[in-house]
Amino acid sequence: MADTIFALSSGSPPAAIAVVRISGAEAGAALSALARRRLPPRRAVTVTLRDGAGTTIDRALALWLPGPGTATGDDTLELHCHGGRAVVAAVDAALGAVPGLRRAEPGEFTRRAFANGRIDLAEAEGLADLLAAETELQRQSALAMAGGAFSQQVAAWRERVLQLSAAVEAVLDFGDEDDVSGLPGDFSGLLAGLEDEIRQWLARPRAEALREGFRVVLAGPPNAGKSTLFNALIGSEAAITAPTAGTTRDVLTHPVALAGVPFRFVDTAGLREAAEDAIEAIGVERALAALDTADLVLWLGPEGAGPDGAWEIEPRCDAPDHPAKHAARHRLSARTGEGMASLRAELIATARAALPRPGDAALNARQHRLMADAAESLGAAASLSDTLLIAESLRLARVAFDALLGRTATEDMLDTLFGRFCIGK
């Protein structure tokens, strides 16, 4: 039998309300120990909480939720107390003194929900992303995954593969009988259609891009105005600016949300062939490496000298002696703000096109790999003529779908996932 666990499930005190959750077979014992009464199920009741010595801790709302119809699948007790540090500490101590109870590990409530079949692995991954979401776009995508949109799609694909597998097994088992002579005429078409649907999902923007943000690298020679533009884009003085060339010696990264879209802006050291010292040479090397990881480069150097696909930026347009560009994508002054609105607007539009659409579930690296495995197996099945090999390819596709939903998950992988959660979730 699993231990009964408890933890503060709301924000750190002090707060107006503190929600303490107890889940497991001994949750009823915790209710008896602290409230010393029985409660009707799924109805909030005001109770007096007392410790083992009978001393009053707090007046609180208690909610008794008998399993299995709970978030974790186990009996659950929620105590909604006043959110002062002393109250929370006293409730924690009283619960710790109840036999059979222990403090929860990070993510343990959600892990129990997964173990008890209340959520699948894809939904748990979506919930982890939802808790970490910092922008509106991240929230909407994570909510779609946590709400089961992707899980329902995988379950539908798996059911179709099962139907195809049944047709193959019928040929293997009864192929010598008159009423089962071969695979259905549309068998290859059904396989191809299913593979095409999966590959359309594989072509979608990935969850990592959404989580990390659209990566924009500012590049150019020393004293080109990169750091001034960087500070204007992120809305703070994160980078040191000075008239002296070579002020920026390292790669400076800053995440920011523009119109709900996550960005990661990168300021780099000035690029020039002959660095003045070893530290600057390292900075130039790191700047070149940053260009390779960019989703977009804003090039502030001589026209045409930037990497392929970079946007030509003509900075310092307010200065009479600034170097002009014939085909600048944006002419601007980070100091006065001229041209900044149009640059931000195009950055937002470009990032939105490259990131998952609002409300779309986005695949993470694990899900993408398994989906690719399923597509490969379906493609192999369509190209084979040996019925036994077709059956094996379809079995491998089902294995990939099962892994997507956590039916074949390993403990190490689960430890890594649920370790991302906070205590009390």
Q: pLDDT tens digits, residue range 205-231?
A: 888 888 889 999 999 988 888 889 999
pLDDT range class, residue 94, cuts 50, 70, 90: very high
Is residue 157 over pLDDT 60? yes
Lowest mean pLDDT among 117-121, 198-202, 287-291: 287-291
State residue 180's pLDDT score.
44
What local confidence, expressed as pLDDT, does residue 160 receive?
A: 94
Amino acid at 307: P
What tokens appear for 395 in the block? 């079995």
pLDDT(261) > 70: yes
Q: For all residues of the chain together, what is the average pLDDT?
A: 88
pLDDT digits (tens, 9 = 90+) for 347-397: 999 999 889 888 888 899 999 999 999 999 999 999 988 889 999 999 999
Q: pLDDT tens for residues 297-350? A: 999 999 998 899 999 999 989 888 888 899 999 999 988 999 999 999 999 999
Instruction: Name the DSSP letter for residue 425.
Output: -
The pLDDT value given to residue 136: 86
pLDDT tens-digit readout, 105-153:
999 999 999 999 999 999 999 998 888 888 888 899 999 999 999 999 9
Percent of the chain topping pLDDT 70:
90
Residue 174 confidence (pLDDT): 64
∠ CA 263-269-275, nearest 5°, is 160
Degrees (nearest 5) of the Cα angle 37, 43, 49?
35
Task: Give the pLDDT score at 176.
Answer: 55
Q: Give residue 132's pLDDT.
A: 85
13-71: per-residue pLDDT in tens?
Answer: 999 999 999 999 999 999 999 999 999 999 999 999 999 999 999 999 999 999 999 99
- What is residue 344's three-state secondary structure? helix
Contact 171, 387 (CB under 8 A): yes
Widest Cα–Cα separation across the chain? 90
- Pairing mode, if any, of strands 214-219 and 261-267? parallel
CA–CA distance from 2 to each of 23, 64, 101, 124, 418 (Å)? 10, 19, 10, 20, 17
The answer to whether the beta carbons of residues 172 and 405 sit under 8 Å apart is: no
Can you tell me the distance from the alpha carbon of 207 to that of 355, in angstroms, rounded to the nearest whole number?
8
Q: What pLDDT is recorded for position 247?
A: 46
Q: C-alpha distances in angstroms, 334 versus 89, 209, 228?
A: 51, 27, 6
DSSP string, 284-317: HHHHHHHHHT-SEEEE-SSTT-SPTTPEEEE--T
The whole-number pLDDT of residue 244 equals 44
Q: What is the pTM of this model?
A: 0.74
Name the β-bridge partners of 110.
Answer: none
| DSSP β-ladder status, 45-50 and 101-103 | unpaired
Share of the chain above pLDDT 90, in %: 63
Residue 181 has what pLDDT?
Answer: 53
